[in-house]
């Protein structure tokens, strides 16, 4: 690999190069990760602003997810072909430009087009950020580096609802996009100054067939997953796109393994057992962990009457706990490996998820915050640990493509998991009951005008004028909703138990742990094959 400048501990201006790289990556990618949740808060506002129905407005989210899924697999090839620094900065610049265009969008379809630009930029940049850290930090410190980077990975999604809720409540929805512009510009500036170029000795050729079928496969599956809960899993459009997507991914896998001379995604990495085990644990953990991130905001807003801003504040302790645990887990990983962290973290997650499955409509918010702190600790111990473990057995020149492979597959698993959980939740609700309860919520005065928050499952918060039939309807709705939450959390509980078992197969203490350099050397024959 040709690298302009050596990756050393030499200090420039008092700051080692590796820390400059870490700062550049964190600033560059923070806005990309923030955007995964900040727009969701403003979805209803955007729908009203552009006078669009749900089907049309859904493209604001669906097209972003699809663009992200299409761009992520190709990021490794682009980095190898044109240089990792150049493509990383290009991705950040595209995302920043797309954010500005979203903010000034005069109508819905202009906004959707700008969201596509955001998705392409984010999909290119996100996998390369991790690859930069792996190629810069020595192996003995890569866990620590990914742990520190993990603070941004968990803090940004948690801040999204807070920032988005505050701006939307203040009537400044366009600033949920404009806020990305100065952060992105700073990321591009720092990256252009501090990052060093990485590229192979020989530029690879483009796997055109692989690109074509990966685009069809990833885009179709992600689109189908984004509309499945709303349209129904048996809807012709959902089934057609899932079928097209899975066929596309099967053909894509065949091309990558049997035809392509320079595969877009190196699926042969799965021949390495440690990589495969870590990747599978990562997929399972996405399902197990996403329950709180997706289901709890619904619980807090629908049943407990919290605003988007209040919901974000309640969920913040999970991010704070994870932000503390992630760098500590990174340091521990460098010393003892992944196994103990994964087993303890997923065991905490299993107990915590079972407790969340027992939520009631009047569960104490203080107790809920306690559960979120425990969940944050589990999150900090597991997500980055499985990612680092997978990349630890990959030769440095292949980290960009390996990171793209892990991110691409996790996106698909995450999208399908959210669709399944949303379906479980909505399937428990009688349409007529849900519609009546929704009409009541929309007709209820805002808390700031009455001084009282309306929690639909707490009779004492219901206004006195609500007639008895309406109260009976609300009680039925509350019971159905709680039942749906319980079923969804039970599913994630079983996945967390599976993650405990799979996590025990990862390398590390109490077995002999000679460090990741020894793990890499043991994996080189398979990786080279």
Question: Residues 197-235: pLDDT tens digits?
Answer: 877 777 788 899 999 999 999 999 988 988 887 788 889
Q: How far apart are CA 468 and CA 413, in angstroms?
A: 44
Whether residue 34 is contained in a domain is answered as: yes
What is the per-residue pLDDT across 417-461, written as a single tens digit (0 to 9) for each? 888 888 888 888 777 766 665 665 555 555 444 455 566 676 555
**397 and 341 in one domain?**
yes
**217 and 188 in one domain?**
no
What is the per-residue pLDDT across 83-93, written as a single tens digit (0 to 9) for each? 999 999 999 99
Q: Give the structural domain span for 184.
A: 14-200
Whether residue 448 is contained in a domain is answered as: no
**327 and 400 in one domain?**
yes
Mean pLDDT of 13-24: 83
Peptide bond into 151 cis (omega under 30): no
Beta strands 11-12 and 15-16, pairing class: antiparallel
Show which of 200, 226, 250 is a domain's final residue: 200
Whether residue 7 is contained in a domain is answered as: no
Residue among 260, 264, 292, 478 nearest 373 (CA): 292
Whether residue 3 is contained in a domain is answered as: no
Instruction: Count CB atoms within 10 A of the CB of residue 140.
Output: 12
**428 and 400 in one domain?**
yes
How much is the pLDDT for 432? 72
How much is the pLDDT for 155? 77
Q: Band of the pLDDT at 177, cuts 50, 70, 90?
A: very high
N-terminal to C-terminal alpha carbon distance within the chain = 19
What is the per-residue pLDDT across 392-403, written as a single tens digit (0 to 9) for each? 888 888 888 899
Whether residue 69 is contained in a domain is answered as: yes
**252 and 172 in one domain?**
no
**370 and 251 in one domain?**
no
Residue 337 phi/psi, 5-degree rounding, is: 85, -170
CB distance 378 to 273 below 8 Å:
no
What is the per-residue pLDDT across 291-339, written as a single tens digit (0 to 9) for each? 667 788 888 877 887 877 888 888 889 888 988 898 899 889 888 889 9
For residue 462, give the CATH number of its domain. Answer: 1.20.1250.20
Tell me if residue 11 falls in helix, strand or coil. strand
CB distance 343 to 515 below 8 Å:
no
Please tell me the pTM assigned to this model. 0.81
Tell me, rounded to whole angstroms, the distance of Cα 294 from its chain centroid: 11
- Residues pairing with 11 in the sheet: 16
CB distance 342 to 503 below 8 Å:
yes
Q: For residue 45, what are the CA distances in angstroms to 48, 318, 422, 515?
A: 5, 26, 21, 51
Residue located via tokens 């499985």: 386
What is the per-residue pLDDT across 62-110, written as a single tens digit (0 to 9) for each? 888 889 888 999 999 999 899 999 999 999 999 999 999 999 999 999 9
Whether residue 6 is contained in a domain is answered as: no
Residue located via tokens 């892990």: 406
| pLDDT above 70 for 528 | no
Cβ burial, residue 186 (10 Å; 0-12/13-18/19+): middle
Sign of the dihedral defined by the CA atoms of residues 105, 109, 115, 120, in that order = negative
């Amino acid at each position: 690999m040709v690298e302009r400048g050596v990756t050393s501990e030499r200090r420039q201006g008092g700051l080692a190069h590796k820390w400059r790289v870490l700062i550049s990556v964190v600033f560059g990618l923070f806005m990309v990760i923030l955007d995964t949740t900040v727009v969701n808060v403003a979805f209803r506002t955007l729908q009203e602003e552009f006078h669009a129905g749900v089907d049309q407005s859904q493209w604001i989210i669906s097209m972003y997810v699809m663009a992200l899924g299409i761009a992520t697999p190709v990021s490794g090839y682009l980095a190898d072909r044109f240089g990792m620094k150049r493509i990383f900065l290009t991705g950040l610049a595209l995302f920043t430009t797309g954010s500005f265009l979203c903010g000034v969008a005069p109508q819905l379809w202009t906004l959707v087009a700008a969201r596509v630009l955001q998705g392409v930029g984010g999909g290119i940049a996100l996998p390369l950020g991790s690859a930069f850290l792996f190629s810069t930090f020595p192996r003995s410190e890569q866990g620590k580096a990914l742990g520190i980077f993990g603070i941004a990975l968990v803090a940004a999604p948690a801040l999204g609802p807070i920032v988005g809720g505050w701006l939307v409540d203040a009537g400044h929805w366009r600033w949920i996009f404009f806020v990305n512009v100065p952060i992105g510009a700073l990321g591009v500036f720092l990256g252009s100054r501090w990052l060093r170029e990485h590229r192979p000795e020989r530029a690879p050729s483009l796997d055109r067939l692989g690109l074509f079928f990966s685009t069809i496969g990833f885009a179709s599956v992600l689109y189908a997953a984004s509309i499945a809960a709303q349209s129904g899993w048996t809807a012709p459009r959902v089934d057609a796109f899932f079928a097209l997507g899975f066929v596309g991914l099967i053909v894509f896998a065949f091309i990558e393994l049997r035809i392509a001379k320079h595969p877009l995604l190196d699926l042969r990495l799965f021949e390495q057992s440690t990589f495969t085990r870590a990747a599978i644990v990562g997929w399972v953990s996405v399902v197990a962990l996403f329950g709180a991130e997706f289901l709890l905001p619904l619980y807090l807003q629908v049943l407990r009457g919290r605003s988007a801003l209040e919901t974000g504040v309640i969920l913040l302790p999970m991010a704070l706990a994870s932000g503390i645990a992630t760098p500590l887990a990174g340091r521990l990983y460098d010393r003892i490996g992944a196994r103990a962290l994964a087993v303890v973290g997923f065991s905490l997650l299993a107990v915590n998820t079972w407790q969340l499955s027992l939520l009631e409509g009047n569960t104490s918010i203080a107790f809920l915050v306690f559960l979120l702190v425990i969940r944050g600790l589990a999150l900090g111990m597991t997500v980055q640990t499985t990612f680092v473990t997978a990349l630890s057995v990959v030769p440095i020149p292949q980290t960009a493509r390996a990171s793209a492979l892990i991110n691409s597959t996790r996106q698909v698993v995450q999208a399908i998991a959210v669709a399944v959980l949303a379906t479980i939740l909505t399937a428990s609700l009688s349409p007529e009951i849900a519609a009546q309860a929704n009409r009541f919520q929309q007709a209820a005065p805002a808390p700031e005008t009455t001084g009282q928050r309306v929690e639909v499952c707490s009779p004492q918060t219901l206004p006195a004028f609500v007639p008895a039939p309406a109260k009976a309807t609300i009680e039925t709705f509350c019971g159905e909703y709680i039942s749906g939450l319980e079923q969804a959390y039970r599913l994630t509980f079983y996945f967390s138990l599976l993650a405990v078992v799979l996590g025990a197969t990862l390398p590390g203490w109490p077995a002999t742990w000679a460090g990741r350099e020894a793990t890499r050397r043991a994996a080189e024959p398979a990786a080279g094959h």
